[in-house]
């Protein structure tokens, strides 16, 4: 009872001080590091950033999994490449980054976190900069990472952060690990969680009446547009060349290469040529290897985002690495307050001005 009464007296004192005109104004809030003071990510600041925008972006090439340009490239090398380029383009000091967050769906959780950590060191980040990973299915993983970093900046936890997504479906194909709970059979929604994306594609096409011919025509147009953009050099500014190795599957011989172009684009693709392909997931279906997304884990490579607001302006930089059953890639971008950048569109590579 005595302790409860004492707490009430303390609270009453606070209230009386708040309404008393004679009481001096409380001191302004100031930043105080927590007990985890060795990590910039957990230092609360009294200035919240109200705006975070992307002002520069870069990525690696998009390559076919299993047989494309990055089939023998470790995930951490892809991440390190875009991290290093993000720092170079943004001019941000690595030690100024408050946190790094990557979204990932297919990678083993603890291993993927370690791969991101290794990539940070390969890119020149100090041990004082932390990293964590999140998993929200499909393209939402990279977007969730960006949302978390942006929210942390707006809350004032730190001023600079890096966020993005990473997948490698050469090393981490879509597969269920371990046994399936037998209770799944008791609940239709639980059963639907196990549907392959190809069957989902077939269901959506049937539900909305999207014919095989429409899908093939759309896919052919996509390849034609991508091929024209590539030939015109529209992706050149956004792609970061990656020095890596390619191994001959028969002899094991390695050769050094620099990958700087998407290798999944198929010039000359027509609806007629796509029409010769057989359905993959369902007899009499409409989903084929030709009209499916090459990034099957994510519909599009999520834009990695490293957020870098430098007081009083709010700046952000970003990085992402998506790869799928047929694609490998990694992206990065820099963000900043529109108020400090009157010519923001000119800072973006041409392929990102949409």
Q: What is the pLDDT of residues 52-83, one digit of tens each?
A: 766 667 788 888 888 889 899 999 999 999 89
Q: Of 88 and 300, which is predicted with more confidence?
A: 88
Phi-psi region of 130 (alpha: psi -120 to 50; beta: other; left: phi over 0): beta
Is 60 exceeded by the pLDDT of residue 124? yes
Check whether residue 164 and residue 50 sit in a common domain.
yes
CA distance 103 to 322: 10
SS3 for 331? Answer: strand
Is 80 exceeded by the pLDDT of residue 199? yes
Share of the chain above pLDDT 90, in %: 41
Sequence-separated (6 or more) residues with CB below 8 Å from residue 92: 86, 160, 308, 310, 315, 317, 334
Check whether residue 154 and residue 303 sit in a common domain.
yes
Q: What per-residue confidence (pLDDT) applies to 150?
A: 87
Q: Give the mean model confidence (pLDDT) for residues 141-162.
A: 86
Task: Note if the bond before 300 is cis, omega within 30 degrees.
Answer: no
Q: Is 7 exposed, middle or buried (0-12, 13-18, 19+ CB in 10 A)?
A: exposed
Check whether residue 50 and residue 163 sit in a common domain.
yes
The pLDDT tens digits of the residues spanning 43-56 come to 555 555 567 766 66
Q: Give the mean model confidence (pLDDT) for residues 8-15.
A: 61
Is 70 exceeded by the pLDDT of residue 332? no
Sequence-separated (6 or more) residues with CB below 8 Å from residue 335: 52, 53, 54, 55, 305, 306, 307, 308, 309, 314, 315, 316, 317, 318
Check whether residue 77 and residue 159 sit in a common domain.
yes
Share of the chain above pLDDT 70, in %: 68
Is 70 exceeded by the pLDDT of residue 178? yes
Is 90 exceeded by the pLDDT of residue 127? yes
The pLDDT tens digits of the residues spanning 206-262 come to 999 999 999 999 999 999 999 999 999 999 998 999 999 999 999 999 999 999 999
CA distance 295 to 305: 19
Check whether residue 126 and residue 235 sit in a common domain.
no
Is 90 exceeded by the pLDDT of residue 84? yes
Q: Is residue 17 part of a domain?
A: no
State the total domains in the chain: 2
Check whether residue 151 and residue 237 sit in a common domain.
no
The token pair at 274 is 């796509």
Is 80 exceeded by the pLDDT of residue 30? no
Cβ 164 vs Cβ 103: under 8 Å: yes
Check whether residue 83 and residue 124 sit in a common domain.
yes
Q: Is residue 2 part of a domain?
A: no
DSSP 234-296: TTTTTBPPEEEEEE-TTT--EEEEEE-S-S---TT--HHHHTTSPPSSSTT-S--TTTS-SS-
Sequence-separated (6 or more) residues with CB below 8 Å from residue 49: 153, 154, 156, 159, 309, 314, 337
C-alpha distances (whole Å) from 201 to each of 128, 168, 211, 336 are 44, 22, 12, 38
Is 60 exceeded by the pLDDT of residue 177? yes
Q: Give the mean model confidence (pLDDT) for residues 12-41.
A: 51
Q: Is residue 348 part of a domain?
A: yes
Q: Give the mean model confidence (pLDDT) for residues 329-337.
A: 51
Q: Is residue 101 part of a domain?
A: yes
Q: Is residue 29 part of a domain?
A: no
Q: What per-residue confidence (pLDDT) applies to 338?
A: 40
Average per-residue pLDDT for the chain: 76
The domain boundary residue, chosen from 239, 274, 309: 274
- Where does 24-129 show beta strands of DSSP type E? 32-33, 43-44, 54-59, 99-103
Q: Of 216 and 40, which is predicted with more confidence?
A: 216
Q: Is residue 14 part of a domain?
A: no
Q: Is residue 288 part of a domain?
A: no
Q: What per-residue confidence (pLDDT) applies to 310?
A: 30
The pLDDT tens digits of the residues spanning 270-323 come to 999 999 999 999 999 999 999 987 754 332 233 333 333 332 223 333 333 333
The token pair at 64 is 């076919």
Q: How open is the CA angle 298-300-304, to the nearest 5 degrees? A: 95
Q: What per-residue confidence (pLDDT) applies to 5?
A: 64
Check whether residue 154 and residue 56 sit in a common domain.
yes
Check whether residue 146 and residue 254 sit in a common domain.
no
Check whether residue 158 and residue 192 sit in a common domain.
no
Cβ 226 vs Cβ 309: under 8 Å: no
The pLDDT tens digits of the residues spanning 98-111 come to 999 988 888 887 89
Q: What per-residue confidence (pLDDT) applies to 117?
A: 96
φ, ψ for residue 127, nearest 5 deg: -70, -15
CB atoms within 10 A of CB 23: 10
DSSP 65: T
Cβ 133 vs Cβ 293: under 8 Å: no
Check whether residue 105 and residue 218 sit in a common domain.
no
Q: Give the mean model confidence (pLDDT) for residues 184-206.
A: 91
Q: What per-residue confidence (pLDDT) applies to 77?
A: 94
Q: Is residue 279 part of a domain?
A: no
CATH code where residue 65 lies: 3.40.47.10
Angle between helices 75-90 and 109-122 (to 10 degrees): 50
For the full predicted model, state whether its pTM sits above 0.75.
no
Q: Which domain holds residue 340?
A: 39-173+298-352
Cβ 316 vs Cβ 305: under 8 Å: yes
Check whether residue 168 and residue 187 sit in a common domain.
no
């Amino acid at each position: 009872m005595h302790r409860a009464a004492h707490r009430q007296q303390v609270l009453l004192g606070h209230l009386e001080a708040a309404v008393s005109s004679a009481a001096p104004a409380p001191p302004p809030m100031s930043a105080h590091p927590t007990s985890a003071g060795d990590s910039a990510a957990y230092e609360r600041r009294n200035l919240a950033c109200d705006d975070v925008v992307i002002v520069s972006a870069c990525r690696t090439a998009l390559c076919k999994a299993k047989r494309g340009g990055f089939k023998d490239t470790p995930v951490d090398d892809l991440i390190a490449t875009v991290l290093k380029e993000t720092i170079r383009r943004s001019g941000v000091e690595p030690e100024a980054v408050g946190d790094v967050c990557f979204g990932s769906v297919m990678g083993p959780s603890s291993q993927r976190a370690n791969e991101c950590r290794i990539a940070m060191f390969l890119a020149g980040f100090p041990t004082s900069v932390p990293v964590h990973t999140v998993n929200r299915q499909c393209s939402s993983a990279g977007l969730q990472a960006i949302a978390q970093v942006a929210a942390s900046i707006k809350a004032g936890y730190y001023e600079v952060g890096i966020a993005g997504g990473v997948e490698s479906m050469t090393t981490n194909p879509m597969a269920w690990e371990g046994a399936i709970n037998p209770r799944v059979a008791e609940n239709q929604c639980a059963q639907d969680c196990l549907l392959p994306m190809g069957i989902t594609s077939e269901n959506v096409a049937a539900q909305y009446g999207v014919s095989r011919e429409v899908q093939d025509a759309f896919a052919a147009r996509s390849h034609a547009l991508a091929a024209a953009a590539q030939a015109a050099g529209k992706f050149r500014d956004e792609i970061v060349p990656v020095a890596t190795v390619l191994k001959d599957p028969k002899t094991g011989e390695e050769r050094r290469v620099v990958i700087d172009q998407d290798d999944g684009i198929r010039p000359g693709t027509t609806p007629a040529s796509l029409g010769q392909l057989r359905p993959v997931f369902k007899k009499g279906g409409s989903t084929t290897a030709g009209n499916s997304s090459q990034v099957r884990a994510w519909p599009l490579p999520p834009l990695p985002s490293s957020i870098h607001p430098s007081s009083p302006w709010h700046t952000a930089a970003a990085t992402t690495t998506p790869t799928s059953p047929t694609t490998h890639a990694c992206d990065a971008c820099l963000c900043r307050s529109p108020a400090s950048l009157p010519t923001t569109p000119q800072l973006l590579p041409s392929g990102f001005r949409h």
